[in-house]
C-alpha cells in the first residue's frame, strides 16, 4: 500500500473545505465500485499498467484535491495533499477473471477493495488494482459519501480515464469540479462526532450479511415487456429498478398506484 499525492500542490486558499450539515450527517462509509478490464496488449506488463494508473491518478487528484485530504472533527476537510491509499494486489486463485465473474460472492468481491466499507474514518478515497494470471485487471475505487455522491464518482472516473488514455482531461467539459459550497447553504453544526451520521445511528448492530441476486437476460427482457406501454419503453436498468422497488413496497406492507398488465413468471 502506498499514498498517491496530487501531482501539483493544492493552493493555500483551497486547503480548508467546510462540511455542510448534510455532509456531517452522512456516515463515514466507502461507496465501492469495481471495474474489470481484459488485457488490451499482451506485451504490456502489470507493472506498466500499475504505473500508468498511479501517474494518471496523481494528475487527476489535482482536479479533485479534497480526496487527498482528511476529515477533521467532522467539521471540515483538511486538503493537505496527504494522499489517497493505493493497493497493488495479485489474484492468488487459479481461476481466470472470466471464471471469477461468473458467480462471485460478496466476500470474493471485497478482496478487490483496499478497505472494508465501514473503515473510511477520516479517509475520503482509496484504490486497488488487482491482476489476474490471465491478464485481466480489476480496478476498485472507494469514495466517502461525505465528499461526493454517485454522479460525482462517475465524473471523477471519467476524468481519470481521460487522463490515463490521452494524457489530458476531457476537452468537451470545461468545468470538471464537482465540489459545491454546500456549507454556505447548510452551515455545519457542532458536536456531531465522525461516524455518527444519520445512517450509522440506525444501522443494525452485529454482522451485516450481503446477498447477491442474478437476473438473466431473458428475465430482464420479460421485465421490460411487463413495464412497456405505448408512451413508456423502459431500459433494462429502469425495468429492473421498478421491479425491485415494487417488491420492496409490497414486502413492507405498503400500497402504491400501479398498472400491471401481466405477471412476471418466477
> What are the cell numbers at 8?
501539483
Which residue is listed with cell 421498478?
A: 242
For residue 107, what pLDDT is reported?
83
| pLDDT tens digits along 20-37 | 888 888 777 888 899 999
pLDDT surpasses 80 at 225: yes
For residue 257, what pLDDT is reported?
56
Question: In the chain, what percentage of residues exceed pLDDT 90?
Answer: 38
For residue 151, what pLDDT is reported?
82
Q: What is the pTM of this model?
A: 0.75
| pLDDT tens digits along 119-168 | 888 999 999 999 998 889 999 999 988 887 788 888 899 999 999 988 76
For residue 240, what pLDDT is reported?
93
| pLDDT tens digits along 169-199 | 554 344 444 455 677 777 778 766 655 454 4
Task: Tell me if 199 sits within 8 A of 28, measured CB to CB.
Answer: no
Q: Taking all residues of the chain, what is their mean pLDDT, rounded to a whole number? A: 82
Task: Tell me if 146 sits within 8 A of 28, measured CB to CB.
Answer: yes
For residue 193, what pLDDT is reported?
64
> What are the cell numbers at 48?
506498466
For residue 166, what pLDDT is reported?
83
pLDDT surpasses 70 at 74: yes
Q: Which fold has domain 2-202?
A: Chloramphenicol Acetyltransferase (3.30.559)
Task: Tell me if 86 sits within 8 A of 127, measured CB to CB.
Answer: yes
What is the domain partition of the chain in residue ranges? 2-202, 213-266
Amino acid at each position: 500500500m502506498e499514498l498517491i499525492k496530487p501531482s501539483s500542490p493544492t493552493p493555500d486558499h483551497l486547503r480548508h473545505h467546510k462540511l455542510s450539515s448534510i455532509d456531517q450527517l452522512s456516515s463515514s462509509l466507502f461507496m465501492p465500485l469495481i471495474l474489470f478490464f481484459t488485457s488490451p496488449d499482451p506485451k504490456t506488463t502489470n507493472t506498466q499498467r500499475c504505473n500508468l494508473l498511479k501517474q494518471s491518478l496523481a494528475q487527476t487528484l489535482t482536479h479533485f484535491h479534497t480526496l487527498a485530504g482528511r476529515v477533521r472533527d467532522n467539521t471540515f476537510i483538511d486538503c493537505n495533499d496527504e494522499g489517497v491509499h493505493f493497493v497493488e494486489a495479485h489474484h492468488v486463485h487459479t481461476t481466470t477473471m472470466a471464471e471469477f465473474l461468473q458467480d462471485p460472492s460478496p466476500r470474493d468481491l471485497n478482496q478487490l477493495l483496499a478497505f472494508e466499507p465501514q473503515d473510511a474514518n477520516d479517509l475520503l478515497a482509496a484504490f486497488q488494482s488487482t491482476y489476474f494470471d490471465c491478464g485481466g485487471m480489476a480496478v476498485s475505487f472507494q469514495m466517502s459519501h461525505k465528499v461526493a455522491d454517485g454522479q460525482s464518482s462517475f465524473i471523477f472516473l471519467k476524468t481519470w480515464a481521460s487522463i490515463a488514455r490521452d494524457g489530458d482531461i476531457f476537452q468537451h467539459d470545461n468545468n470538471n469540479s464537482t465540489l459545491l459550497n454546500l456549507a454556505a447553504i447548510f452551515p455545519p453544526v457542532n458536536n456531531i462526532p465522525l461516524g455518527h451520521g444519520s445512517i450509522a445511528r440506525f444501522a443494525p448492530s452485529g454482522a451485516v450479511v450481503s446477498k447477491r441476486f442474478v437476473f438473466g437476460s431473458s428475465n430482464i427482457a420479460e421485465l421490460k415487456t411487463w413495464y412497456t406501454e405505448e408512451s413508456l419503453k423502459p431500459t433494462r436498468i429502469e425495468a429492473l429498478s421498478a421491479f425491485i422497488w415494487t417488491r420492496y413496497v409490497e414486502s413492507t406492507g405498503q400500497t402504491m398506484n400501479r398498472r400491471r398488465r401481466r405477471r412476471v413468471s418466477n
